[in-house]
Amino acid sequence: MSKIIVKTEPNGDHIPFFRGILTQSLVNAGIDFEDAYRLAQEVKDNLKDIPEISTTALRVKVAKVIESSLRCYLL
C-alpha cells in the first residue's frame, strides 16, 4: 500500500496520513479506543486508492465513516 499524503490547508504542507494519529484524535474527541481504531482503519481502507487528500476532504470522509457507523449502531 502506498503512502497517503494529506495536504494541509491553507498553507499547503504535505504530511503523511497515519492511522494512529487519527485514532488518537478520535479518542481525544471522546470515542473509546477500540471504536476509534476501527473507524480509523475504515477511513484508511477508504483512502487506499487516493494518493493525496486535503484536510477538508479528509474531515468529510471521517465524518461519513462515523455517521455510517452510528447508523449501523442505531438500527
Q: What is the pLDDT of residue 72?
A: 74
The model's pTM:
0.86
Tens of pLDDT along 4-61? Answer: 999 998 888 999 999 999 999 999 999 999 999 999 999 999 999 999 999 999 999 9
DSSP string, the chain: -PPPEEE-TTT--EEE--HHHHHHHHHHTT--HHHHHHHHHHHHHHTTT-SEEEHHHHHHHHHHHHHHHHHHHH-
Model confidence band, residue 2 (pLDDT cutoffs 50, 70, 90): confident
- Residue 38, class by beta-carbon neighbours within 10 Å (0-12 exposed, 13-18 middle, 19+ buried)? middle
- Enter the C-alpha cell of residue 50: 487516493
